[in-house]
C-alpha cells in the first residue's frame, strides 16, 4: 500500500496494511540521528509524510517587521496593510516538488502554519492582545483578517499545485483549557479558520485539512469539525482525556498524533511500548489515526527511545 493511499484510507476509516506514522524533530535531534544512523530521519524511520514549506522569510515569526509595527501597543497600528507582494510564498519549483512527492507515492502536505492567532500575538505580545480582545476588538479583528487573507493566498497556491493535505493551525490551548474564552474564540478565530478551509475546498474538494493546536482544545473540537477540519493534531494526552475524545469524536474526525512527548520519550522501553499500544487501541478504534509524537522530539531524548517508539508502532500498528 502506498503512503498516500494509507493516509486517505485512514481518513476514511477503511482498512490499511498498517497504521501510518509521522514525527517531528528539533534541529538538534534531527542532526544527531543523521550522524548516528547515517541517514535522514524521515527516510530512516520510514515516515508516511512529506511536507512542503513555502512561507516567505518575512513571515517566519517576523510579523512586526513585515507590518512595520515598531511597538507592541496595538493602537499604533496604521492602515493600510503593506503590499501583499511582500508576503509572496517561496514557490520556485513548487509544482515539480509536488509531482515528485506524489510520484513517489507520498502525500504532498502543504504547510501554511498559523492562520492568524500566533502571528498577531507575535506582533503585540500575549498580554496586550488578550486585553485588546475587549477594548480594541475591531482593530484586532481587522489585523487577523488581513493575516488570514495572506495565509489563504498561500493555501490556494499550494492547492493549485496539487497538494493532498494543507497543514494549518494555531496554538489555542494551554495545559488546562483554551487560552481565551470559547466565546471569544468562536467570534474572532472560528470564522477565519472556516474561511480558509472553504477557500481550500472550493478549489479541491478532496484536499484534506490538518489542524494543529497544542494543549487542551476539547471545548472547540466540535467547532473544528463543523468548519471542516479533517485531521486533529496533536491530541495531547497530558492535558486531554483521549479516551473521551475518541468516544465523542472518533466517528466525526480523524486523529493525528496521540503520543505525548513531555514524558513518553524519556521513559524506559516498556513504558514506550505500552504507551504506543494504548494510544493505538484508544485513538485508533475507528481506524482513523495517524500515530506520531505530539510535538518535536527534543535533542536530549536518547536515540534508542526513538527507535523503541518506531519499533512499537511497527509491532502494534500492523493490520495484517
Integer Cα distance of 273 and 268 in angstroms: 9
How many degrees, rounded to 5, is the angle at CA 100 between CA 94 and CA 103?
A: 140
251 vs 147, more confident:
251
For residues 65-87, give the mean pLDDT. 55
Model confidence pLDDT, tens digit, residues 5-37? 999 999 999 999 999 999 999 999 999 999 999
Structural contact between residues 59 and 87, judged by C-beta atoms closer than 8 angstroms? yes
Model confidence pLDDT, tens digit, residues 189-212? 999 999 999 999 999 999 999 999
Integer Cα distance of 304 and 309 in angstroms: 9
Integer Cα distance of 13 and 231 in angstroms: 12
Structural contact between residues 227 and 190, judged by C-beta atoms closer than 8 angstroms? yes
DSSP 135: H
pTM for this predicted structure: 0.92
Q: How does residue 120 score in pLDDT terms, banded at 50, 70 and 90?
A: confident
DSSP 21: B
Radius of gyration in angstroms for the set of CA atoms belonging to the chain, rounded to a whole number: 20
Task: Look at residue 76 and tell me whether its pLDDT is greater than 60.
Answer: no
Integer Cα distance of 192 and 33 in angstroms: 38
Of 58, 204, 180, the C-alpha closest to 126 is 180
DSSP structure string for 75-103: GG--SSPPPGGGG----TTHHHHHHHHHH
Model confidence pLDDT, tens digit, residues 88-113? 566 778 899 999 999 999 999 999 88
Integer Cα distance of 119 and 126 in angstroms: 11
Backbone dihedral angles phi then psi of residue 91, each to the nearest 5 degrees: -100, 0
Structural contact between residues 293 and 261, judged by C-beta atoms closer than 8 angstroms? yes
Contacts of 298 (CB under 8 A, 6+ apart): 26, 28, 29, 261, 265
Integer Cα distance of 219 and 181 in angstroms: 10
Integer Cα distance of 179 and 240 in angstroms: 15
Question: What does the pLDDT read at residue 121?
Answer: 87
Question: What does the pLDDT read at residue 110?
Answer: 92
Helix intervals (H) in 26-136: 27-37, 41-44, 63-67, 94-103, 117-124, 126-135
End-to-end CA distance of the chain: 12
Amino acid at each position: 500500500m502506498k503512503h498516500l493511499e494509507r493516509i486517505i484510507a485512514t481518513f476514511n476509516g477503511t482498512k490499511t496494511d498498517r497504521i501510518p506514522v509521522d514525527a517531528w524533530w528539533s534541529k538538534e535531534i534531527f542532526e544527531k540521528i543523521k550522524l548516528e544512523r547515517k541517514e535522514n530521519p524521515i527516510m530512516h524511520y520510514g515516515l508516511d509524510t512529506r511536507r512542503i514549506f513555502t512561507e516567505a522569510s518575512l513571515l517566519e515569526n517576523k510579523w512586526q517587521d513585515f507590518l512595520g509595527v515598531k511597538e507592541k501597543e496595538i493602537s499604533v497600528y496604521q492602515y493600510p496593510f503593506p503590499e501583499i507582494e511582500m508576503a509572496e510564498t517561496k514557490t520556485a519549483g513548487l509544482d515539480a516538488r509536488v509531482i515528485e512527492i506524489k510520484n513517489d507515492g507520498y502525500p504532498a502536505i502543504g504547510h501554511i502554519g498559523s492562520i492568524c492567532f500566533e502571528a498577531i500575538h507575535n506582533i503585540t505580545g500575549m498580554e496586550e492582545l488578550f486585553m485588546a480582545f475587549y477594548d480594541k476588538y475591531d482593530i484586532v479583528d481587522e489585523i487577523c483578517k488581513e493575516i488570514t487573507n495572506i495565509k489563504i493566498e498561500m493555501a490556494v497556491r499550494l492547492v493549485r499545485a496539487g497538494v493532498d493535505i494543507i497543514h494549518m493551525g494555531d496554538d489555542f490551548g494551554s495545559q488546562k483549557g483554551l487560552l481565551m474564552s470559547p466565546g471569544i474564540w468562536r467570534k474572532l478565530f472560528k470564522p477565519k479558520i472556516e474561511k480558509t478551509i472553504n477557500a481550500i475546498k472550493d478549489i479541491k474538494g478532496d484536499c484534506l485539512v490538518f489542524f494543529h493546536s497544542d494543549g487542551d482544545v476539547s471545548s472547540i473540537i466540535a467547532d473544528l469539525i463543523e468548519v471542516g477540519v479533517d485531521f486533529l493534531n496533536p491530541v495531547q494526552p497530558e492535558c486531554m482525556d483521549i479516551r473521551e475524545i475518541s468516544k465523542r469524536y472518533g466517528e466525526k474526525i480523524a486523529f493525528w498524533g496521540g503520543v505525548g512527548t513531555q514524558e513518553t520519550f524519556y521513559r524506559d522501553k516498556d513504558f514506550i511500548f505500552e504507551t504506543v499500544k494504548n494510544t493505538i487501541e484508544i485513538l485508533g478504534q475507528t481506524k482513523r489515526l495517524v500515530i506520531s509524537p505530539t510535538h518535536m522530539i527534543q535533542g536530549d531524548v536518547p536515540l534508542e527511545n526513538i527507535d523503541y517508539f518506531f519499533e512499537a508502532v511497527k509491532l502494534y500498528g500492523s493490520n495484517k
